Structure 1
Amino acid sequence: MQCSRHNLNVVSAGNGLIMGWVRFFEGKRIFDCIGSPNTAHPVPVHVEEIKDIITVAHYILVVEKESVFQRLANDQFCNANRCIIITGRGYPDIPTRRFLRLLVETLHLPVYCLVDCDPYGFDILTTYRFGSMQLAYDTKHLGVPEIQWLGAFPSDPERFFVPKQCLLPLTAADKKKIEAMLLRCYLQKEVPQWRLELKLMLKKGVKFEIEALSVHTLSFLTESYIPSKIHSKVII
């Protein structure tokens, strides 16, 4: 029909979660995350009905996994860092991506993404920024070109002393996926530094999960890794 599902009012059930310093209406329903910034709320499905967005946040943080989202909630991360946190719980669905796009366009806040250091985490990162191949026609409604990669980088293990036992060898399927992603023209044209990190992952032949950064202390991710990366601008 040469139009997006957005124009046809086709809405899928949302899978994403949000918490942090933001308040808005979805129709007549109020989402008051500010009253309890470390409590998770479902991402609203009817994004076109959202209005009156208010925030005192300094930035938006997108995390790949619900387990990391929950760790940030348990550590009262939003209280200490005045941010908004969103997770798509893996590959983000359409409501999550549309909602994130709306927040960035409306609030003009920096937006950072934290994913596992593996081919699938990298693919999730590119889905947020550039959209997916299956929904390429809808990229203008779903992509977030402002998003920056906070981590985890293939170069992080040496910098943050990740033990070798936390590094897993890339499988044959992992290597095949990386090689295919390296051929994507937009990586070379728009985010060449991302492509260099992806090549480094393939060269080193290892991957690791975000949780590996907290192997020395559970609070390392929330108290050191994320704040230091943002404050020192160690993002790409």
Structure 2
Amino acid sequence: MASSKGSIIGRLSIKEPDGDIVDCSVLGPAGYAITGDLSVLNKLEFYSDARYIIVVEKDAIFQRLAEDRLFNQIPCILTTAKGYPDIATRFLLHRLNQAFVELPIYALVDWNPAGLSIVCTYKYGSITMGLEAYRYACNVKWLGLHKDDLQMIPQQSFMPLKPRDLQIAKSLMSSVTLQDSYRGQLNSMVEMGNRIDIEALYCHGFDFLGKYIARKIVMCDFL
């Protein structure tokens, strides 16, 4: 059985194999825990009136958006793997993508090589899985953070890249699947030598993140 660390919340009802129905719009900020048992995930049935699926890198950001009931302002489903995507969270996202093919999937991650690596794992699969890499891949759009967003972030929020960031950047650069727009963002990270966390947007107020997401979606500002 695969272990799981992921959660999901928002405009989604889940019918479990035993017939119980979970309304994810009334849960607490921790959301619905995604089981690591893929056979159980495969039997779940989904009902939703959402218009978007938003994948969040960090659990703290996920819980903040859940507390703010972002899905009542923007009809969406929020999910997180609490860091690097595990198989169970990727499998559930893939199943949602199959169930609601019309819903765009957006990713919200830190502006650093690790954040981009997370987007690429959802989008292209994990290179460590070999031939299995593309099995749960979804057409994820990178909503932010982007280089153009950095103008609204104070200088004190810019942090130097860590050696691990540079290792990840080097690995991503060698990937033939990396699209040009992602490669351009990655080059900017390395040239600037900086990384910026999503939390830096809170300098504009704790309610700003929801407004940021809404504006990015309306303006089709994603990669």
TM-score when normalising by structure 2: 0.92
Q: Deviations over 1:167-195 (max 9, x none)?
A: 001134322321221111001xxx21111
Q: In the alignment, does 2:159 pair up with 1:168?
A: yes
User: Is there any run of 5+ residues in structure 2 with no aligned partner, and where?
Assistant: none
**What residue number does 1:85 align with?**
78
**Runs of 4+ more than 6 Å apart:** none
User: Is there any run of 5+ residues in structure 1 with no aligned partner, and where?
Assistant: 1-10
Residue 14 to residue 29, structure 1, CA distance change in 2 (3 Å): farther
Contact 1:63/1:113 (CA < 8 Å) preserved in 2? Answer: yes
Inter-partner Cα distance in structure 2 for 1:76 and 1:116? 21
- How far does residue 149 in structure 1 lie from its aligned partner after superposition? 0.2
Q: Deviations over 1:133-178 (max 9, x none)?
A: 221322343211x1100011133111xx200000001134322321
Contact 2:117/2:168 (CA < 8 Å) preserved in 1? Answer: no
**What residue number does 2:129 align with?**
135
**What residue number does 2:191 align with?**
203
Q: In the alignment, does 2:53 pair up with 1:60?
A: yes
Inter-partner Cα distance in structure 2 for 1:43 and 1:156? 31
Inter-partner Cα distance in structure 1 for 2:195 and 2:17? 43
Inter-partner Cα distance in structure 1 for 2:11 and 2:82? 20
Inter-partner Cα distance in structure 1 for 2:60 and 2:25? 23
- How far does residue 196 in structure 1 lie from its aligned partner after superposition? 0.9
Residue 139 to residue 166, structure 1, CA distance change in 2 (3 Å): same
Of stretches 35-44 and 192-201 in structure 1, the one that deviates more from structure 2 is 35-44
**What residue number does 2:117 align with?**
123
CA-atom RMSD in angstroms:
1.6
**What residue number does 2:176 align with?**
185
Residue 29 to residue 195, structure 1, CA distance change in 2 (3 Å): farther
Q: Deviations over 1:100-148 (max 9, x none)?
A: 000011111100000111111111111111111221322343211x110
Aligned length: 218
Inter-partner Cα distance in structure 1 for 2:21 and 2:109? 26
**What residue number does 2:34 align with?**
43
Residue 21 to residue 124, structure 1, CA distance change in 2 (3 Å): same
Contact 1:38/1:78 (CA < 8 Å) preserved in 2? Answer: no
Inter-partner Cα distance in structure 1 for 2:108 and 2:215? 14
**What residue number does 1:8 align with?**
none
1:62-77 superposed matches below 5 A: 62-77=55-70
Contact 1:130/1:143 (CA < 8 Å) preserved in 2? Answer: yes
